[in-house]
Structure 1
Amino acid sequence: MRMLIAGVALAGLAACGGGGATGDVKIGLSVSTLNNPYFVQFRDGAQAEAKKLGARLTVTDAQNDPSQQVNQVQNFTSQNMKAIIINPVDSDAAAPAVKAADRAAIPVIAADRGVNGAEVAQTVASDNVAGGRLAAQELAKLLGEKGSVAVLQGVPGTSASRDRGRGFAEGIAAYPEIKVVARQPADFDRTKGLDVMTNLIQSHPGLAGVFAENDEMALGAVKALGGRAGGQVKVVGFDGTPDAIKAVRAGTLSATVAQQPRLLGQQAVDAAVKAAKGEDLPKAVAVPVKPATKENADQFG
């Protein structure tokens, strides 16, 4: 079936005439959003690996729209890509398009977030549950193991938000004098993080800490808090983006759980090339995370 390509935002094409079988491997990559520095780094890593391997990589930006992403993956299927990488906007909504690719014998790699209800060749992601626990430990240490905290949640339906939130809840449960007084979604977005945090300050004036499930929301929270950020109110993020590391150095963002988005992009493309060649893959690959604080921020660029 011919699929309409209207409305699909092409974000880039990496091609290399590297010769051999790998040069014939066409891979489609649908990124949840490129309006986020983390996923820009992820894309850059994917493009660099495709160039290194001589594969042809087409990148699209779903602009945080699940239906647009479904169309993109369907287009990749109709274009007979040898493999598809999906960084889901919504882990549930992605399933039908992934199933269609599977019926066409096109292997799919899930990157950064899993796909619910559909089989993929491999999921490449940070250990988000462990990262959430790590964030809880860092925040507890910053608070002296007591105080009221709020959680800024990511996009509902994403495995990243669910797993980071679960890990944080498990981790913070070890500190009975820390109370989570609010959990509100801000969709992994800086502006929404600012808006939600502004409201939380008014409804919870005694707030001592914030865990944001990504750095964009954390930076929005820092802006909303103004002079209280890093002092009266400790904010911990998740990703380790350049802007976040800069804020950690400045002391306004107390810590972040640093991922390795470029490495994640590289590993996703490597897996896609192997899957396209019929190689067996482990079902999951976990990319390590570690805390970035003012003391070790220079390790993160």
Structure 2
Amino acid sequence: MKRILVCVLILFSLILTGCGQKIQNENPDNPDNDSQQIVNIDDDKDIPDIAIVMKTLTNPFFIEMEKGARLAQNELGVNLIVKTGAKETSIEQQIGIVEELINSKVDAIVIAPGSSTDLIPVLQKAQKANISIVNIDNRLDPNFLRKMNLTDIPFISVNNEDGAYKSAKYIADQINKPTKVAILEGIRGADNSEQRKKGALKAFAENPNIQIVAMESANWKIDDAFFITSSIFAKYPDIGGIFCANDMMALGAIQYLDKSNRSKVLVAGFDDLREAEKAISKGSMQVTINQHADIQGYRGVHYAYEMIKGKKQPSETFIDVKLVTKATID
């Protein structure tokens, strides 16, 4: 009988506690009430869910981007969801990730798209679901965005054409006799890849001693770059310089050059990866570009947070690039 009485008392106490919570919720003018902590147990519902969708984490560039996003997460107190494809060419996987995030009803998506066009339809679906979108790194195609009626998508990146121009010009300025050069492109059609090719072409065109004999896509990948470089040199064994649209491809090209004992070929890259800096210090690479991946990730999350709060963000934000050479490293 005593055991039954104790159970009844515990049940009655729980009922009173629940009632106390309800009364407190309906009486916000009483902040000193002891049950205030119970009222706040569901406050995490107000924490925004912000997803950052990147191409891959096999490229250290995107690891740095995540670090910047994590810093913003810690500052803002948001819930950060990090998603990536398996490879930089995993466009369909990125589309699937965005679909999942729509179903999960996240508040915002910060995306570094693998394709400038293929992600736009699913991002339109996201925006129609009232999900804020921030575009970082590789620009979504502005014409296609307008066609699909996607608006208010801020873009954060660097001036890729200018960065590539500076990188390619650094090796072009060292060429003072007739020399053949090659360009390793990223994914064709991706805006950042096209802009970097444009910048390299401009820099090489300014030197009358330079003849561009090959332009091939290695899809941002180190292994692809090794084999593409091998095939280019099989056709043009006297090439004296290579511009690579990212450091992963530059490292792949260097692997081939080292294997074939071509130590005098000038190599320019883009991204300022740690391994690229080691290659520059060693002398097997001459230059790269720091495009501040961490700042892009950091600002992307900040912009998303402000957009969730209803604040319009700048349509374009360009971060200054930094030329990285042996002199700047040492």
Report SS of the residue matched to 1:99. helix
The answer (yes or no) to whether the contact 1:22–1:53 under 8 Å persists in 2 is no
| Alignment of structure 1 residues 46-57 onto 2, 5 Å | 46-57=69-80
Q: Is the contact made by 1:73 and 1:98 (CA closer than 8 Å) also made in structure 2? A: yes
Aligned residue type for 2:315: K
Q: CA RMSD in A?
A: 2.0
Instruction: Assess if the C-alpha contact under 8 Å between 2:240 and 2:264 holds in 1.
Output: yes
Aligned-pair distance for 1:143? 2.0
Check conservation: 1:23, 1:56, Cα contact below 8 A: no
Q: Deviations over 1:58-104 (max 9, x none)?
A: 01112231111111112212222111111111111011011111112
Letter aligned with residue 247 of structure 1: A
Counterpart of 2:100 in structure 1: which amino acid? Answer: N
User: Higher strand fraction: Structure 1 or Structure 2?
Assistant: 1
**Cα separation, 2, equivalents of 1:25 and 1:254:** 44
**Which SS does the other structure have where 2:130 is aligned?**
coil
TM-score (norm 2): 0.80
Confirm or deny that 1:214 pairs with 2:242. no
Which residue is 1:114 aligned to? 139
Q: Helix, strand or coil: the match of 2:201?
A: helix
Whichever of the two has the greater Rg, that structure is: 2
TM-score with structure 1 setting the length: 0.88
Aligned to 1:186: 218
> Deviation per CA, 1:135-186, whole angstroms, max 9, x where unpaired?
2211211223741110011112211111111111122221222111000011
The reply on whether 1:99 has 2:124 as its aligned counterpart is yes
> What SS class does the counterpart of residue 280 from structure 1 fall into?
coil
Which residue of 2 is the match for residue 161 of structure 1?
193
Q: Does 1:31 align with 2:54?
A: yes
Residue 67 of structure 1 is aligned with which of 92, 109, 112? 92
Alpha-carbon distance, 1:49 to partner:
1.3
Q: Structure 1: any 5+ residue segments left out of the alignment?
A: 1-18
Unaligned runs of 5+ in 2: 1-41
SS across alignment from 1:110? strand
Number of aligned residues: 280
Q: State, as a whole percentage, how many aligned pairs show the same letter.
A: 27
Give the Cα separation in 2 of the matches to 1:114 and 1:229.
38
Q: CA deviation at 1:279?
A: 0.7
Residue pair 2:69, 2:300 contacting (<8 A) in 1 also: yes
